Amino acid sequence: MNSFQKKFSPAARLRALWHPLGRRLALTYFLLALVSVGGLIVWSGVQLEQATWTQQAHNLEIQAQLVANALGSGFDESKEHKRNALALQQLVNTYAADHLNDGDAPTRITVVDEKLRVLASSDARVQAGREDNHPEFVAARAGFEQPDIRRDEFTNEERIFVAAPIRGQDDDLALAQLSMSTRPIQSALRQMWLGLLGAGALILVLTTVVSWWLARGIARPVQTLTNASEAIARGALERRVTPQGPDEIERLGHAFNRMTDQLQELIVREQEFATNAAHELRSPLTSLRLRLELLQDAARADPQMAARYVVQMERELVNLQRMVDQLLALATLEQSGRAARAALDLAPLLYELADEISPLVQAAQVQWRVDVPIHLPPVYANAEQLRMAVRNLLDNALKYTPVNGLVTLHATTQTDCVVIEVSDTGNGIPPDALPHIFERFYRTADTRSNRVRGSGLGLALTRSLVEANGGEICARSKMKEGSTFTLRLPQSA
């Protein structure tokens, strides 16, 4: 099985799902669905159950009113009591048979007088005698309706009872009690609950499937990122991830790849930096070692040659010290980032630098021109970092300008920025080398062949210093005519 098949196999998907994050997400979704669906089912079921009981009681009350109206003619004190009782019983049976006994649980009609004595009933199991003062009777006497659910004393089953007043021709009060078994209602309610539970189970299953899909969609790319991070920590810097999943996770994947690219680039740069630094440091150290060996041999035989070796060794030490200082400055700049900055007028700083290098200008036997106004608009920068940057450019100009050549320090203002230019009339920079002169340890072929002292770090350090202060640096050059380095720094707001 290849790596692609392993990555997308069912076992891999299952492992991704049951990763701790996948388990927590799936369980969270499931519990939320369970609580939500369960709560909705319970609430809906209770509401439907209450509505069912209320509707059934209301229907029974309507029937009680109809029965009471239909039986009103059965009460006539002008006839014999026995004849009235028989007529009432026959009327009750007829009405019950014609109107109330269609279902599996027939409705029972019971008629009682004002003293709650049973006068007639459609159910032969109802015995003659006196009824208790049940809630439906109390409500009917008071002129309103009140259903009651209780166990029937004659059939020992749970029934729902209602009552309505009956008035005969002489306005004598009697009560018609209707009741029906609650078994059909409870059976219907059970079917309703089963239907709700079935629907809830189906919703829960669908929610579980969706939860599993969502959890997998989140857990799998997170697990992929985790595996990639662990691989990179073990040194596999070429490892990348394929961004996938929700938008946030996909953006995280892109950010992870960008971070890894930058990390790999940084490590490669640091490795190149260390290699180049070792190479550049080895040359002066080797030169020092050779001169020390020669000095030991020639010190007694030729004092003048020994003195010359000492001067050369001192020059090598100065170059070595300058290289170490530049390396430390670059490392400090990269580690600490921006130094403290403030609004700064660069004119006094440039005049100080001009005074500092005047002895070097005289020693190099070149012409020196300073074209800087008395004041310049303030820039937001670090004074020491800009001093180092401009000094590096001036040192380079003096190094590559021949005798009687011209070095110029010029400063002016442009739209929203201060411009500083350092020009020389040296041999110039080859066009193919110009794009690389700000790279670390880069030296043109002419400077290497002419054995011009330098480490290739000065311009790289200068660019880092300028960019750390929000500025930019560029160079233009023409062979046999010279070079110009231009710094642009934004004016302080």
Please check whether residue 325 lies inside any domain of the structure.
yes
Identify the three-state secondary structure at position 451.
coil
The domain that holds 325 is classified in CATH as: 1.10.287.130
Please check whether residue 24 lies inside any domain of the structure.
no
Q: DSSP letter at 99?
A: I
- Residue 6 in this model has a pLDDT that exceeds 60: no
According to DSSP, the β-strands at 367-371 and 406-414 are: parallel
Closest CA to 200 of 37, 400, 68: 37
The reply to whether 178 and 303 lie within a common domain is: no
Asked if residue 167 lies in contact with residue 173, where contact means CB atoms within 8 angstroms, the answer is yes
The reply to whether 296 and 264 lie within a common domain is: yes
- Residue 458 in this model has a pLDDT that exceeds 80: no
Domain boundary among 296, 314, 337: 337
The reply to whether 417 and 300 lie within a common domain is: no
The reply to whether 479 and 420 lie within a common domain is: yes
Q: What is the pTM of this model?
A: 0.47
The winner for highest mean pLDDT among 82-86, 113-117, 172-176 is 113-117
The reply to whether 315 and 414 lie within a common domain is: no
Please check whether residue 224 lies inside any domain of the structure.
no
The domain that holds 155 is classified in CATH as: 3.30.450.20
Query: Between 335 and 250, whose confidence is greater?
Result: 250
The reply to whether 81 and 175 lie within a common domain is: yes
Please check whether residue 64 lies inside any domain of the structure.
no
Tell me what pLDDT residue 300 has. 60
The reply to whether 436 and 373 lie within a common domain is: yes
The reply to whether 418 and 288 lie within a common domain is: no
C-alpha to C-alpha distance for 335 and 328, rounded to whole angstroms: 10
The reply to whether 308 and 361 lie within a common domain is: no
- Residue 389 in this model has a pLDDT that exceeds 70: yes
- Residue 57 in this model has a pLDDT that exceeds 80: yes
State which residues form the domain around 128. 74-182
Query: What is the full DSSP assignment across 215-254?
Result: HHHHHHHHHHHHHHHHHHHTT-TT------SSHHHHHHHH
Tell me what pLDDT residue 484 has. 94
Least-confidence region, from 13-22, 111-120, 192-201: 13-22
The reply to whether 446 and 401 lie within a common domain is: yes
Please check whether residue 462 lies inside any domain of the structure.
yes
C-alpha to C-alpha distance for 42 and 268, rounded to whole angstroms: 64
Identify the three-state secondary structure at position 160.
strand
C-alpha to C-alpha distance for 307 and 314, rounded to whole angstroms: 11
The reply to whether 105 and 137 lie within a common domain is: yes
In 101-190, DSSP assigns E strands to: 108-113, 118-121, 148-151, 158-167, 173-181
Please check whether residue 307 lies inside any domain of the structure.
yes
C-alpha to C-alpha distance for 124 and 105, rounded to whole angstroms: 15
Please check whether residue 196 lies inside any domain of the structure.
no
Quickly state the pLDDT bin for 5 (edges 50, 70, 90): very low
Q: How many domains does the chain have?
A: 3
What is the per-residue pLDDT across 130-165, written as a single tens digit (0 to 9) for each?
A: 888 889 888 888 888 889 999 988 889 999 999 999
Please check whether residue 150 lies inside any domain of the structure.
yes
Could you count the other beta carbons within 10 Å of the beta carbon of residue 308? Answer: 14
The reply to whether 465 and 354 lie within a common domain is: yes
C-alpha to C-alpha distance for 59 and 186, rounded to whole angstroms: 16
Asked if residue 469 lies in contact with residue 489, where contact means CB atoms within 8 angstroms, the answer is yes
The domain that holds 392 is classified in CATH as: 3.30.565.10
Query: Between 119 and 102, whose confidence is greater?
Result: 119
- The pLDDT > 90 percentage for the chain reads 21
- The pLDDT > 70 percentage for the chain reads 76
